[in-house]
């Protein structure tokens, strides 16, 4: 089981009623998705989703590969409902927009 206290990684979180999403603070890669309803999590460690705070603002790279990330999560036994998938991507966009505004 993942233990944040024993890990050298730090995370940026996207958090809502259903899920929270964690990014590796060093690489910027999407690291894992936590399902609050079931208490289960999916380790993604995807190079396809990268948090990029750049001069033009923060963005996610690899958006064309978003479906393959979710299919991988489903293959690991986690059932993501359609509305939850949509909410996940919406939350990422909202997070990045807010973060960009806060950075000035």
Q: What is the pLDDT of residues 68-87, one digit of tens each?
A: 444 444 444 444 334 344 55
Domain count, the chain: 1
Domain containing 9 equals 4-103
| φ, ψ of residue 93 in degrees (nearest 5) | -65, -45
Cα dihedral 93/98/99/102 (nearest 10): 160
* pLDDT band with cut points at 50, 70 and 90 for residue 29: low
58, pLDDT greater than 60: no
């Amino acid at each position: 089981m993942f233990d944040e206290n024993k890990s050298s990684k730090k995370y940026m979180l996207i958090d809502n009623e259903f899920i929270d999403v964690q990014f590796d603070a060093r690489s910027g890669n999407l690291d894992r998705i936590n399902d609050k309803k079931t208490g289960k999590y999916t380790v993604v460690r995807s190079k396809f989703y990268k948090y990029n705070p750049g001069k033009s603002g923060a963005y996610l790279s690899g958006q064309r590969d978003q479906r393959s990330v979710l299919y991988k999560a489903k293959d690991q036994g986690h059932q993501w409902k359609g509305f939850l998938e949509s909410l996940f991507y919406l939350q990422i966009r909202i997070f990045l927009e807010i973060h960009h505004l806060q950075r000035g």
